[in-house]
Homo-oligomer: A and B are copies of this chain.
């Protein structure tokens, strides 16, 4: 009954996911990004106007649509990312927004992949973007990796390593090298991790009009990697010059050096990074978790100067997107995350008999008023069975009403007198705790 590509988590996994989302969201808000949601659907023409993912769209049809009638509905598709809808939203609401506009957006997206590929067809993304009118200052490109680094550093997961490149470096280099179809070169180099350098060289010669020497130079560029500005010298040594290359190198240096100052070890210039989608025009980001490099990028994005425009108005932007479902799917698959309990409940109020349910409800209400998650036992079963109810869910405390109420830590067995108006658990027991492997 599971449907291929539409993952569903068990309750404990969902608690972990919720905690991860909470951490991401609170970090985004600490940096001043405003929450935003867009509708799940876009007109098909909006979806098809941007790059290569057009083939993966789900279209909607009303079940009861009149036979053969082609109405507005026939043009609607589920969004496949959050950037294209955001660009549309900005243009549509430009008169009501204040720029530069910083927003985060945490929503499901859908891709109509063929079922047999085993890829996600529904998944959660967590995006931040900054968009401005006319010109967006470059320093926002340097801010994106810092926000992501901060968000992920607060989670019990392997350290993130953000790989950065700049399209201007690649395009300028290819142009300076004498290659004119720079898009085709980029697309081919993008396959490096999949097909290896020999076949990339072969395809550069075969489909992008490169000589063998030019192909070799492209591979030399792609091999460059550094955690500081030293990559500039490595590029210069390849002997190619071009104004766009200069501009790209200068931008890339700023991203790497800013990260080095504020978050050492987080960012690396990796000149093979290209990103498949067409709409990026400068900085591009990919992110791997250390030890999980083989699972690919969990957080990607870049600068897009031409995604949103309306008449003579342009709205350049830069953004980055955490693939929450993808990241958790990988970590769950490796048993790399666990949680202390499968329910929010901190205290189970035991029920001596059904006549005392109202009194027990009042105890639970008193605990809740002070922020302590509590529930009352489902039935007045023997206390042993009620303790088992708590134990099976990982609820740490059972409350026994009486002339003098008592509360028991069922992990240690310690039991002590307590009042619902004043007792509090240790802070670490209040909510489920997520831990790494």
Contacts and interface: CB of A to CB of B under 8 A. Distances in A.
Contact of A14 (B35, B62, B262): B35
15 contacts: A6-B41, A9-B37, A10-B97, A11-B101, A30-B344, A39-B122, A56-B63, A56-B64, A58-B60, A58-B61, A58-B63, A63-B77, A65-B112, A98-B392, A137-B379
A71 B139 CA distance: 48
A71 B4 CA distance: 12
Contacts of A329: none
A176 interface: no
A179 B34 CA distance: 57
A320 to B, nearest CB: 16
Quickly give the copy total for this chain.
2
Given A10-B97, A59-B60, A62-B114, 8 more contacts: A15-B34, A30-B344, A32-B344, A33-B344, A34-B343, A57-B64, A60-B61, A150-B368
Interface in A1-33: 1-4, 6-11, 14-15, 17-18, 29-33
A314 interface: no
A98 B393 contact: yes
Contacts of A38: 8
Given A58-B61, A373-B30, A6 B39 contact: yes
B39 A3 contact: yes
A340 interface: no
Interface stretch (A88-96, A162-170, A267-275): A88-96
B3 A373 contact: no
Contact of A374 (B32, B114, B342): B32
Nearest to A31: B375
B63 A60 contact: no
A195 B343 CA distance: 45
Interface in A242-294: 258, 261-262
A108 B40 CA distance: 9
A11 B34 contact: yes
A336 interface: no
Interface residues of A, number: 90
Interface stretch (A180-188, A221-229, A357-365, A419-427): A357-365
Given A40-B108, A41-B122, A343-B102, A373 B61 contact: no
A294 B153 CA distance: 49
A361 B140 CA distance: 12
Contacts of A343: 32, 34, 102
Interface in A55-85: 55-65, 71-73, 76-78
Contact of A1 (B78, B88, B379): B88
A9 B103 CA distance: 13
Interface in A109-127: 110, 112, 114-115, 122
